[in-house]
Amino acid sequence: MKTKRAYRYRFYPTPAQEVLLAQTFGCVRSAYNTILAWRTQAYESEQKRIDYKEASAQLTVLKKDPARSYLNEVSCVPLQQCLRHQQQAFTNFFEKRAGYPAMKSKKYRQSAEFTASAFTYRDGQLFLAKCKEPLAIRWTKGRETLPSMPSTVTVSRDTAGRYFVSLLCEVETPPLPVSPRTTGIDLGLKALFVTSEGEQIDNPRHTAKYAARLAKAQRALSRKQRGSKNRAKARHKVARLHAKIADTRRDDLHKLSHRLIHENQVVCVESLAVKNMIRYRSQSKAIADTGWGELVRQLEYKAAWTGRQLVKIDRWFPSSKRCSCCGHTLASLPLRVRDWTCPACGSHHDRDLNAAINIKAAGLAVLALGENVRGIGQVPLS
């Protein structure tokens, strides 16, 4: 099966490349924000929806404006691509899959996308449009060349000042051999998740490890005068710590999701509404630090790549309150109660293990029967 995969690497631009990329990021941001303001005004005043073709024509008008002549100093491809992304953002908004498109800020991650006409890849070297030297990419050991010619290249700079390039390639992905193992996982805070076989993966609490250093850096940032160079340096230090936390969390989740997918033919999880759960202020920081949504996202696409199946059960399924032995369901089970005894059959349960066993049973039932009931839930297969 052929799939599209993005290979992401860090690179170190030369001073000339750094200037060109800064100009490209700025032009992309300016074009995106200007066209977005124009589309918003057209909708509010005339109730008119602007499509990509009209937005592209408006970009041509902007480039002819002497006040915006800087738009002609960079490749036109990233400017067109940002309008395509904006069009998709509006499509998601009108179909109620996302909020209204927001303006881009230079304070956050910057990116520019290049299609095949705006870059050249040969002999393991990548040349961008208007750039005479190849990017100094730090390739992964043993993967100095890509499996196929990339269709798009995305260059980005994060808030910590690091540069990355993402190359989208089409590759052949043979499915993994069929495994007889299946599992259900119950996500939590004390343990990141517990499997139906009783394995418990502790919550690494990445933010807590760097809490003291982060607090010190943030206090130093708050004392710096706004607009000063010292404030920019302090802000960069805070951004580097946040990047370290995010990288560590992402690396751990990749290792866990890789193991779960390669060891099990079917993985069953709850479809949690993480964004709603973060609204509870008492636990929002701990929930955000676990990365539940990222873990499920990784399981989803890795299952699709390898021929495995990820089953999501209904979020209202009473996995913790239902006895995995006899099926009796408690009327209520406070979060502080970690162990309980079934009043019907007398079985003693660990809350998380019992939930994982129930999640696995419900997921396999849905997979086999395709039922869509409140107690089990309909499951979209990857």
- pLDDT, one tens digit per residue, over 20-35 is 999 999 999 999 999 9
Structure confidence by residue, pLDDT tens digits, 255-300: 999 999 999 999 999 988 888 888 888 888 899 999 999 999 999 9
Mean pLDDT of all residues belonging to the chain: 91
Structure confidence by residue, pLDDT tens digits, 108-155: 999 999 999 999 998 889 999 999 899 999 998 766 778 899 999 999
Q: What is the mean pLDDT of residues 227-240?
A: 95
Assess whether 352 carries a catalytic annotation: yes
Assess whether 270 carries a catalytic annotation: yes
Q: Which of 113, 300, 314, 352 is catalytic?
A: 352
Contact 199, 263 (CB under 8 A): no
Q: Is 50 exceeded by the pLDDT of residue 382? A: no
Q: For the stretch 188-224, what's the b/e string if a residue is b when 16 or more beta carbons lie within 10 angstroms of its beta carbon? A: beebbbbbbeeebbebbebbeeeeeebeebeebbeee
Q: Where in the chain is the domain with CATH 3.30.420?
A: 182-203+245-369
Fold type of domain 182-203+245-369: Nucleotidyltransferase; domain 5 (3.30.420)
Residue of higher predicted confidence among 145 and 167? 167
Q: Give the pLDDT of residue 374.
A: 43
pTM, to two decimals: 0.86
Q: What is the mean pLDDT of residues 53-81?
A: 95
Q: Give the pLDDT of residue 95.
A: 93
Q: For the stretch 338-353, what's the b/e string if a residue is b when 16 or more beta carbons lie within 10 angstroms of its beta carbon? A: eebebeeeeeebebbb
Beta 309-313 vs 266-270: how paired, if at all?
Answer: parallel
pLDDT-derived band at 371, boundaries 50, 70, 90: low
178: DSSP letter: P
Distance (Å, whole) CA 317 – CA 301? 24
Q: What is the mean pLDDT of residues 94-109?
A: 93
Q: Which of 113, 186, 300, 314 is catalytic?
A: 186
Structure confidence by residue, pLDDT tens digits, 33-50: 999 999 999 989 988 889
As a whole-number percent, the residues of the chain with pLDDT over 90 amount to 76
Amino acid at 32: Y
Q: Is 70 exceeded by the pLDDT of residue 372? A: no
Per-residue tokens: 85:
């992304």
Q: Give the pLDDT of residue 370.
A: 67
Q: Which of 51, 197, 270, 300 is catalytic?
A: 270
Distance (Å, whole) CA 232 – CA 235? 5
Tracing tokens 């990233």 back to the chain, one arrives at 78
Determine whether 289 is exposed, middle or buried from the number of CB atoms within 10 Å of its CB (0-12, 13-18, 19+): middle
Q: Give the pLDDT of residue 379.
A: 37
Residue of higher predicted confidence among 276 and 194? 194
